[in-house]
């Protein structure tokens, strides 16, 4: 597709469950970012990949959160033992090459996660 896509668009789960959120970046973009956005707040940086490797994962809130990008394209954000405080919109963005925020980031529509 032409833009960044994310699936599912909405996810409702119960406290304690495991969830996976998927991001398909723009074809050819080597840098990929995950953010979390709560209502009325700006996106909060979680992790960024340069190719297959996590160049910076300092934004992941704790060890329940993990992300992979095994082939340097699609990425999956995994959340274990979900808590109600994990409820937010999870945004994915990609950029062409350099990464580190020096280039325009193209955002996907987000996955709205609700933990009951």
Nearer Cβ to another protein (51/109): 109
Q: How far is the CB of 78 from another protein (least distance, A)?
A: 21
10-80-61 Cα angle (round to 5): 90
> Which residues are near another protein by CB under 8 A?
4, 33, 35, 40-45, 48, 56, 58-59, 91, 93, 100-102, 104-110
Nearer Cβ to another protein (3/16): 3
SS3 annotation, 72-86: CCCEEEEECCCCHHH
How big is the chain by its Cα radius of gyration, in Å? 13
Nearer Cβ to another protein (80/114): 114
Q: How far is the CB of 60 from another protein (least distance, A)?
A: 12
Q: Is 116 exposed, middle or buried (0-12, 13-18, 19+ CB in 10 A)?
A: exposed
Structure tokens at 81: 């033992």
Q: Helix, strand or coil for residue 66?
A: strand
Nearer Cβ to another protein (45/66): 45
Q: How far is the CB of 104 from another protein (least distance, A)?
A: 4
């Amino acid at each position: 597709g032409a833009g960044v896509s994310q699936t599912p668009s909405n996810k409702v789960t119960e406290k304690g469950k495991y969830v996976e959120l998927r991001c398909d970046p723009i074809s050819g973009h080597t840098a990929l970012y995950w953010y979390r956005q709560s209502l009325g707040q700006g996106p909060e940086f979680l992790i960024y990949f340069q190719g297959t490797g996590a160049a910076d994962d300092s934004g992941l809130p704790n060890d329940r959160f993990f992300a992979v990008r095994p082939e340097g394209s699609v990425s999956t954000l995994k959340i274990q033992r979900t808590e109600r405080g994990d409820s937010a919109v999870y945004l994915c963005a990609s950029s062409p090459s350099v990464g580190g925020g020096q280039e325009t980031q193209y955002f996907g529509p987000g996955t709205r996660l609700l933990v009951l």
